[in-house]
Structure 1
Amino acid sequence: MKPRSALVIIDVQNGVLAGEAPVQGASGLLSSIAALLSRARDRGVPVIFVQDDEVGEVGSAAWDIHREVAPAGGEARVRKLACDAFFETDLAERLEQLGVEHLIIAGCKTEFCVDTTCRRAVTLGFDVTLAADAHGTSESPALAAAAIVAHHNRLLDGFGVMVAGRPREIRAVPSQQIEL
């Protein structure tokens, strides 16, 4: 039997996408996330939006999740104050209540919140599929945004740990190839 999955969309907020250090290729990123989100909704896969409370004032336009991928009625939001979406939030409890064992992760920013949440998820006992074309970041002085995304796809793909005697692993997979 296939483990129950949930789609976790991290920090796709207006102030992240178009803020001081804008996400490169935001339009394409939003399209990839929107397509993945639509498929998840069509198949009844639970969707959880993670929102960083340090992006703009809570309730402001900068803090809001971008309208192209905004939560629909009944979809959960988890508010956080750290790169790790599990740190001092109820994300793990929500997933446990839903019987979720597998996370599909998309969002912003690759080298911060996406990376940290993927790694933490496997140590908590979840398998993770990183939507390889549905996470993004800003340019950095050291690397172009596309290089950061490619590097993290390669770095995280296959990362795993043993949890309670069972292997848990991250797989980086193009969003169209993700089975929901």
Structure 2
Amino acid sequence: MARALVIIDVQNGILPEKGSERSAVRRRFDEVRGRIARLVGEARRGNLPIVFVQHDGGPGHRLETGTPGWEICGDLGRRDEDVVVNKTACDSFYETRLQDVLASHGVRHLVVGGLMTQYCIDTTCRRAVSLGYDVTLVADGHTTVDTDRLTVEQIVDHHNALLDGFDAGSAAIAVVPAGDIQLKADGEAL
């Protein structure tokens, strides 16, 4: 089954001011980017499609299109030949060309990482499964910020537990740590 690495909203301004002041939130963001960069390199060596999803924020938004905050983080190893799909909603499929891009590569299995866990990661993973894609969610390859009620660690742990095994028909989500994922051209994501 053809796979693609899909990286969602890892942009310079993705962390809002509120909730991201704690050093653990910033450290986790750095660690997640490092894991994603490793997966990007592995996908590239395996000749797998790499899709960067980029949120287009409106005027005044921290991800306002064309601003420094909107840019994809430079330490991920993105190249000009990598596909960038722009979106304006939490669902990376909603009114975007993502499904067309995946179809053009014959992709039926997504390996997903990025931000924000409870919004774009959760929504995109669930939508992918409902569209018939299998999903490997990188357990330690997505993050968010603290909320008034939950820490980033609680949010990520909750979503990893909630999404692992989520299915629709024969498609399902498996939550797997980055260190256990191998992206080879002729193998499945482990």
Q: Give the TM-score range, shorter chain.
A: over 0.9
Instruction: Please list, as runs of the form range in 1=range in 2, the aligned pairs for 1:61-80 lying within 5 A after superposition.
Output: 61-80=68-87
Instruction: Please list, as runs of the form range in 1=range in 2, the aligned pairs for 1:39-118 lying within 5 A after superposition.
Output: 39-54=42-57, 55-118=62-125
1: distance between equivalents of 2:118 and 2:72?
20
1: distance between equivalents of 2:98 and 2:76?
19
State the SS of the aligned residue for 1:49.
strand
Aligned to 1:160: 167
Instruction: Spell out, residue by residue over 1:101-142, the C-alpha distance to the aligned partner (whole angstroms, 9 max, x if none).
Output: 100000000000000000000011100000001000000111
Measured after TM superposition, the shift of residue 57 of structure 1 is 2.6
2: distance between equivalents of 1:41 and 1:176?
17
State the SS of the aligned residue for 1:120.
helix
**2:37 counterpart letter in structure 1:** A
**2:5 counterpart letter in structure 1:** L
Instruction: Spell out, residue by residue over 1:6-57, the C-alpha distance to the aligned partner (whole angstroms, 9 max, x if none).
Output: 000000001104x424391211111111111111111111000000001433
Candidates 150, 153, 158, aligned match of 1:143: 150
1:30 is aligned to 2:33: yes
Aligned to 1:177: 180
State the SS of the aligned residue for 1:150.
helix
Aligned to 1:9: 7
The answer on whether the counterparts of 1:9 and 1:49 sit within 8 Å (CA) in structure 2 is yes
Runs (4+) off by over 6 Å: none
Higher mean C-alpha displacement, 43-52 vs 25-34: 25-34
State the SS of the aligned residue for 1:102.
strand
**1:47 counterpart letter in structure 2:** I
Q: Tell me, which stretches of 5 or more residues in structure 1 are unaligned?
A: none
Q: Tell me, which stretches of 5 or more residues in structure 2 are unaligned?
A: 184-190
Q: How many residues are matched?
A: 173
2: distance between equivalents of 1:136 and 1:155?
15
1: distance between equivalents of 2:144 and 2:64?
21
**1:115 counterpart letter in structure 2:** D
Higher mean C-alpha displacement, 67-76 vs 145-154: 67-76
The answer on whether the counterparts of 1:4 and 1:102 sit within 8 Å (CA) in structure 2 is yes
**1:48 counterpart letter in structure 2:** V
The answer on whether the counterparts of 2:40 and 2:77 sit within 8 Å (CA) in structure 1 is no
